[in-house]
Structure 1
Amino acid sequence: MERELKLELLQDQAEGLIGLPLVSSCCVEPPHEDRLVSTYFDTSDLAFRRMHASLRVRQAGEHFVQTLKTWGTQHGALYEREEFESAVPENTPDLGALRDQLPVGTALGTLLREDDLAERLKPIFITDVRRTVLLLRLPQGDEVELAVDRGVVRANDATEPIRELEMEIQAGEPAHLSAFALRLLDAVPMRLSRASKGDRGYALVADEANEAVRAQPLRLADAGSAEAVFQCIAENCLAQISGNERGVVNGSNPESVHQMRVGLRRLRSALDIFEPLLACPPALQSDLKWIADELGPARDWEVLANATLRDAFDGAPEDVGAGAVLAAAKAVAADARQRAAQAVNSDRYTRLILTLSHWLGSADWRHGLDEAQRAALTGPARDFALTTLRKRQRRLLKRGRGMAKLDEQRRHRARIAAKKLRYATEFFESLFAANKVRRYRRQLSRLQDDLGWRNDMAVAEGLLLRLATERQQLAIGCGYARGYIARAVSVDRQPLRRLWKQFKAARLPA
């Protein structure tokens, strides 16, 4: 299993980085430099890429090594993925050697055993880099290979520069990589690397969209401790956040903004749930709120432009000026996406993810705990989960009393309580009987979805007022849309009353 942390150098500062006292003081042997030329192979229909894998043959001097890499997972700044390596005599893959390493029952194993695969393989792109390698021993004793790459990826006439730092843990704790990277960042400007060399090459040969990444289902151990469950939940949230960074930075997929924002809300909810057992540093909490706030306007304007206004102007008279309002809202949404991209590509965000990765990986919350607190952390997760769900259900039932008649502020507080209960239910559902959780979650989800829709309408109302104030020529169209919103919310009163009644009758899983 390969475990590495990758950062992009913003300037050609490779020599300065290698010469840093911080780096030289950790070196266990002098650095060495190689020229690495890697040829990536695939079929015409990109069969390996479609399986989220890459196959390359790398030449270093007179030696050739083939490597098959899987997609793997990204947890904040750390990548983990399987790779299969073997020496080959020339710049051509040896499929037989790879078949010996991959099981028959896997998708990649099946692909490698296709009779005509060798004939279908062809070079797709090449990376040509000058790599400086240093072997480090960190102050904690961890053994790390630090590599600085400068070069280019080339596909036909298209090229893209490569300027990155890779740190691979050879022995020790991966969390220490993040702490060391933060110290490097104080001296050399860098950003999180969100694309492997293979990703960069495929981007030159294929028109690939950045797919939004949703949260993966959680499978928690029945006998796990509360602390172990928190770490599992937090890593799951972080994977969703990190998985959408590329789509947000490229500004190509509004859904990536939404899913990254959902990942942040889930993580902040998890921190709130476990706050009685472990404390997240205030500075980390503040930065998580900052990036969530940076993503918020992009999502709000996207919903207005591509959902709310679309429904509001369906069948509207021509003199309303629907087209002008839609165009203005889409333009603001595009600007908001650019601001979100700048935030995710900033130094502050890079530091946030490195700090969060270190905090989660090192379990820093254990410092300063007394015996009672330690006992609570190691206690059964199921007991903690049940206590949490009961507490959050009581809070929602209290805040939602007379739901359909609540004013906007009180209904907003009920919505927040419903959202927190829903996240807690989703986090812990694998600890309870599936049939009981399913029924309860269905009623809760329906209620929370309706409250969320009402919140979207309230946000849209505010955005339309702002748009009409700033651009007087859009006042009629904005007023028409606001009228639609008022009618829709009014009609929803009875359905909301029914959903609240159904939720109150639902039984909490136990």
Structure 2
Amino acid sequence: MERELKLRVAKEDLVKLRNASMLAQSEATAGTPHLLTSTYFDTPDFSFHWCGASLRVRTVGNDKIQTLKREGSAKAGLFDRDEFEMPVNSDAPDLTLLYDQIPDDSDCGKLIRDETVAAQLKPVFVTRINRSAFVLRQPSGDELELALDEGSVEADSGSVQIAAVELELKQGNPDVLYRVALEMLETVPLRIDHRSKADVGYALLIDEHSEAVKAQPVRLNKRDSVEDAFCAIVRNCLDQVHANERGVVSGHAPSSVHQMRVGLRRLRSALDLFAKVIPASSGFDEELRWIASELGGARDWEVLAGSTLDHAGADGNADEIRPVRQACEQIAVNNRQRAAAAVESVRYTRLALQFALWMNRKGWRDEMSDEQRNAISGPVKSFAADVLRRRHKKLIKRGKGLADLDDHRRHRARIAAKKVRYATEFFASLCPKQAVRHYVDALTALQDDLGWRNDAVVADQLLKSLLKTSPEAASGAAFARGFLASRVAADHQTLKKLWKRFKLLSSPH
């Protein structure tokens, strides 16, 4: 298993890192940068890539090393994946050397045993990297290799320059990777690298877009402690956040922006849910709010340009709406670029590294008393039931007379409903399935109605702003505002019925 933290750095900053004090006492595995030439192989239809694997032969001096890496997880720049490495006697790979290491019933195992695949293998791209490598041994006994890479990825279709830092865990706790990365961040600006060198190479060959990733169900056990549940829930939220970073950075994936924003909302809700027993640093909430707001600017305009204006133009007013849509779409594109820049920023890199370190080392325990540590060691079942009751009660209170509330108070009720929904989903595996299903069905219907109403309120504010920035859209914006206001007014009875249906239910626990 390979465990690497990948970070990008400006070419000119590599010299600063080579001279950094943290490397002064290290053991250099090569006194000067040495050239690593790696040729990646695949079939004409990229069978290995679509199987989630990469296959290369690397030349190091007179030696040739064959490596197959299988797709694993990549979270906050930390790549966890299976790696199979062995000497090879030629410039081309020998798939038979992998037979003993990869099961024949796996997709990758079937691929390497296919004689047709072996016959079709050809070089697809080459990486030429000048690497300076250092071994860092920590007082804790942890050991890692720090590699400073500079070079290129080259294919027939073009090339990409590379300047990067790779931290590979050789022995010990993964915490050391984050600690060293944060120390380096004080010397030079670093950014999370969402792509391996193989990813960069294939991007030169394939026009491939990252898919948006939705949240997976949280699986808890009734014997889990409060702390166990906290870790499982927060990691589930982080998985969704990190899985969508690459799509956001690409700048062309509105759905990834939405899903990363949802993941951040779920994460903040989880931290709030456990705040009384496992308090997080106040700095985390501030930074999570910041990155969520950077994504929100893009998402709000995407919604307006899409589903909201679709409703406004549904009655044959497409011509009047078209200039509004065009203006909104352009603003959405600009804001997607801003969201991409935020996720690519040093600020976000620091947040991701600090949060990962806090989670890995259970940093909340540092300031706790023995009594508090004992409390989070207790069973989560009773904690979950209490949380669900309190969240439900708060929603009932805020939603009193829901259909007749003003925008501000209805927004507060909507936020309370969202928190109830997230809490219910987090703890669903601890509750009776049928009770959860009925409750979530009613809550979802209520949330959907409150959601589009909120979209209408946000849309009204955004459409007002278009009157100043896009005069050509003024007429269509005025029409859309009036249309949306009429839809909101017409929804009064529907919202009353949905609220009445939900009030009859009790929280599942």
- Tell me, yes or no, if the aligned pair for 1:75 and 1:235 is still in contact at 8 Å: no
* TM alignment of 1:358-373, pairs within 5 A: 358-373=357-372
**Equivalent AA in structure 1 for residue 269 of structure 2:** S
User: In the alignment, is residue 508 of structure 1 matched against residue 507 of structure 2?
Assistant: yes
Q: What is the Cα deviation at residue 87 of structure 1?
A: 2.1
Per-residue CA deviation, residues 392-419 of structure 1 (Å, 9 max, x unaligned), is 1111111112222222111111100110
Answer yes or no: is 1:155 the counterpart of 2:155: yes
Counterpart AA for 2:290? W
Task: Give the distance between the partners of 1:81 and 1:306, measured in 2 at CA.
Answer: 38
The Cα shift of 1:72 comes to 1.1
Question: What is the aligned partner in structure 2 of residue 39 from structure 1?
Answer: 39
Structure 2 unaligned blocks of 5 or more: none
Structure 2 Cα separation of the partners of residues 148 and 471 of structure 1: 48
Q: How does 1:194-233 map to 2 (within 5 A)?
A: 194-233=194-233
Structure 1 partner of 2:433 = 434
Look up the SS of the partner of 1:497 in the other structure.
helix
Q: Which amino acid aligns with 1:102?
A: I
Structure 1 runs (4+) deviating above 6 angstroms are none
Name 1:236's counterpart in structure 2. Answer: 236
Report the residue type matching 1:457 in the other structure.
Answer: A
Question: 2:340 maps to what in 1?
Answer: 341
1:137-179 alpha-carbon deviations (Å, 9 max, x no partner): 1243310111111111111141001111000111222122212
Question: Who is 2:466 aligned against?
Answer: 467
Instruction: Write the distance in 2 (CA, Å) between the matches of 1:437 and 1:23.
Output: 54
Q: How far is the alpha carbon of 1:86 from its aligned partner?
A: 2.3
Q: After superposing the two structures, state which structure 1 stretch, 91-100 or 347-356, moved more.
A: 91-100
Q: Is the 8 A contact 1:76 1:238 kept in 2?
A: no
The question of whether the paired residues in 1 share the 8 Å contact of 2:38 and 2:128 is answered with: yes
Output the TM-score relative to the length of structure 1. Answer: 0.95
Conservation of the 8 A alpha-carbon contact between 2:145 and 2:170: yes
Matches within 5 A, 1:199-348: 199-317=199-317, 321-348=320-347
Give the partner amino acid of 1:218. V
Other-structure match for 2:94: 94
Post-superposition Cα deviations, 1:48-71, rounded to whole Å, max 9, x if no partner, equal: 222222121222122222222122
Deviations 1:26-47 (A, max 9, x none): 4487756432111111122212
Residue in 2 aligned with 1:125? 125
Aligned to 2:178: 178
Q: Deviations over 1:349-386 (max 9, x none)?
A: 11111111111111111012112211121111222222
- Asked whether the equivalents of residues 14 and 148 of structure 1 are also in contact (C-alpha less than 8 Å), the reply is yes
Shift of 1:478: 0.7
Note the C-alpha offset of 1:213: 2.0
Deviation, 1:435, is 3.3
Instruction: Please provide the CA RMSD for this pair.
Output: 1.8
Residue pairs, 1:441-480, within 5 angstroms: 441-480=440-479
1:67-120 Cα shifts (integer Å, max 9, x gaps): 221221123232211222222211222222222212233222222233422112
Equivalents in 2 of 1:26, 1:35: separation in Å? 20
More moved, 326-335 vs 10-19: 10-19
SS in 1 for 2:360: helix
Report the Cα distance in structure 1 between the residues aligned to 2:508 and 2:109, rounded to whole angstroms.
Answer: 41
Who is 1:138 aligned against? 138
Please state how far the C-alpha of 1:6 moved relative to its aligned partner: 0.8
Residue 214 of structure 1 aligns to a residue in which SS?
Answer: coil
Instruction: Give the partner amino acid of 1:322.
Output: I
Q: Write the distance in 2 (CA, Å) between the matches of 1:159 and 1:89.
A: 28
TM-fit CA distance, 1:221:
3.2
Aligned-partner SS, 2:103: coil
Equivalent AA in structure 1 for residue 266 of structure 2: R
| Deviation per residue, 1:393-452 (Å, 9 max, x gap) | 111111112222222111111100110111111112122333332222222222112211
CA–CA distance in structure 2, aligned partners of residues 78 and 31 of structure 1: 27
Alignment partner of 1:367: what SS?
A: helix
**Secondary structure at 1:244's aligned position in 2?**
helix
Q: Deviations over 1:443-493 (max 9, x none)?
A: 222211221111111101110111124434422111111122112212222
Task: Indicate the SS of the match to 1:420.
Answer: helix
CA distance, structure 1, for counterparts of residue 239 and residue 81 of structure 2: 14
1:401 aligned to 2:400?
A: yes
Q: Is residue 53 from structure 1 mapped to residue 53 from structure 2 by the alignment?
A: yes
Q: Give the partner amino acid of 2:234.
A: A
What CA distance in whole angstroms lies between the structure 2 residues aligned with 1:71 and 1:492?
A: 48
The aligned residue for residue 78 of structure 1 is 78
Equivalent position amino acid for 1:494 in 2: Q
Mapped to 1, the partners of 2:113 and 2:222 lie a distance apart of 39
Secondary structure of 2:146's match?
strand
CA contact (8 A) 2:76 2:192 kept: no
Alignment of 1:104-119 (within 5 A): 104-119=104-119
Deviations 1:213-239 (A, max 9, x none): 222232223322111221122122222
2:120 and 2:458 map into 1 onto residues whose CA distance is 54
Decide whether aligned partners of structure 1 residues 49 and 29 sit closer, same or farther in structure 2, where only a CA change above 3 A counts. closer
Farther-moved stretch of structure 1 (246-255 vs 455-464): 246-255
Aligned-pair CA distance for 1:271: 0.5
Q: Secondary structure at the match of 2:367?
A: coil
Q: Contact 1:399 / 1:410 at 8 angstroms: preserved in 2?
A: yes
Q: Check whether the contact 2:16–2:187 (CA below 8 A) recurs between aligned residues.
A: no
The sequence identity of aligned pairs, in percent, is: 47
Contact 1:137/1:144 (CA < 8 Å) preserved in 2?
yes
Aligned equivalent of 1:392: 391
| Aligned 8 A contact 2:11 2:150 in 1 | no
Give the secondary-structure state (helix, strand or coil) at the position aligned to 1:163: strand
User: In 1, are the aligned partners of 2:245 and 2:343 still within 8 Å (CA)?
Assistant: yes
Q: How much has 1:264 moved relative to structure 2? A: 0.8
CA distance in 2 between counterparts of 1:119 and 1:422 reads 54
CA distance in 2, matches of 1:47, 1:349: 35
Q: Write the letter of the residue equivalent to 2:158.
A: A
Look up the SS of the partner of 1:13 in the other structure.
Answer: helix
CA distance 1:432–1:65, change in 2 (3 Å): farther
Q: Distance in 2 between matches of 1:343 and 1:155?
A: 30
Distance in 2 separating the partners of 1:449 and 1:314: 20
Distance in 2 between the 1:488 and 1:113 partners?
61
Aligned equivalents of 1:95 and 1:426: distance in 2? 45
**454-463 or 172-181: bigger deviation:** 172-181
